[in-house]
Amino acid sequence: MAETRVAIVTGAARGIGAAIARRLAADGSHVAVLDLREEDTATTVQAIVDKGGRAIGIGADVAAGPDVRAAVARTVEELGAPTVLVNNAGILRDNLLFKMADEDWDAVVSVHLRGAFLMAREVQRHQVEARWGRVVNLSSTSALGNRGQANYAAAKAGLQGFTKTLAIELGPFGITANAIAPGFIATDMLRASAARLGITFEEYLDAAARQIPVRRVGQPDDIAAAASYLCSDEASFVSGQVLYVAGGPQG
């Protein structure tokens, strides 16, 4: 039987993060479900517990050093040393470059890039000690460029360089680092985009599906399946990669 591992999934109250947390728990890991407010993590934690898994909810802002240190310390205390980290927390502050406020740039870069950096730096000490670890960072097809997303595209492309560097630095300790770059995944994050375009979410999904080779939009479980593989023992020779999960080729 596979060893029980402790995983931290950020931004796991809903959407892709919640699906990844549930999937890693189903795979046998104990999971720290991290999100901005602890009370928002209850649904994900309950879903895991209902299936016989073990999970705790932690409220923390991944971009804040003291929050990150406290979150990892609580994970160690209540679940054990974390060796799996999924940096999934994210926000959108879309606007065309000429209208983008300083705060929109800073907020997006801070959550995605600084957040992933702070979390990875804090968790790596436990991974190095265990001589085993998995880091999965959520990038995006937007890393290749997307109108209205200069901040988000820069952060998601930055995460790819960050991932490759972690793979090089941490590889000697049995730790792999990979990125998943989702295409269009039906989550709350995109509801706001539909509202901004003045169409319903369903119309937005239909229009997106028509542009995707497999003729459907992605679901959070599509990303969870990829994360499950990258976090598995079998994936120990896959590191520093960016896996586009988008229903068709990218790049």
Within 10 angstroms of residue 50's Cβ, the number of other Cβ atoms is: 8
Decide: is 79 part of the binding site for ligand NAP (CB under 6 A).
no
The helix-helix angle for 115-130 and 150-170 (nearest 10°) equals 20
Alpha carbons 92 and 108: distance in angstroms, whole number: 7
Q: Min. distance of Cβ 134 from ligand NAP in angstroms?
A: 17
33 versus 132: smaller Cβ distance to ligand NAP: 33
Applying CB under 6 A, which of residues 8, 9, 17, 55 lies at the interface with ligand NAP?
Answer: 17
Active site residue 204: no
Applying CB under 6 A, which of residues 26, 36, 144, 205 lies at the interface with ligand NAP?
Answer: 36
Decide: is 121 part of the binding site for ligand NAP (CB under 6 A).
no
Applying CB under 6 A, which of residues 6, 7, 8, 13 lies at the interface with ligand NAP?
Answer: 13
Residues 6+ apart with CB under 8 A from 11: 17, 34, 35, 62, 88, 89, 90
Alpha carbons 168 and 18: distance in angstroms, whole number: 29
Residue that is written with structure tokens 């300790």 in the block: 173
- Side-chain-facing half-sphere of 196: CA atoms under 13 Å: 10
Decide: is 140 part of the binding site for ligand NAP (CB under 6 A).
yes
6 versus 223: smaller Cβ distance to ligand NAP: 223
Number of residues that bind ligand NAP (CB under 6 A): 27
Decide: is 11 part of the binding site for ligand NAP (CB under 6 A).
yes
Applying CB under 6 A, which of residues 5, 15, 21, 166 lies at the interface with ligand NAP?
Answer: 15
Q: Are strands 84-87 and 6-10 parallel, antiparallel or unpaired?
A: parallel
Decide: is 14 part of the binding site for ligand NAP (CB under 6 A).
yes
Catalytic residues, which ones?
Answer: 152
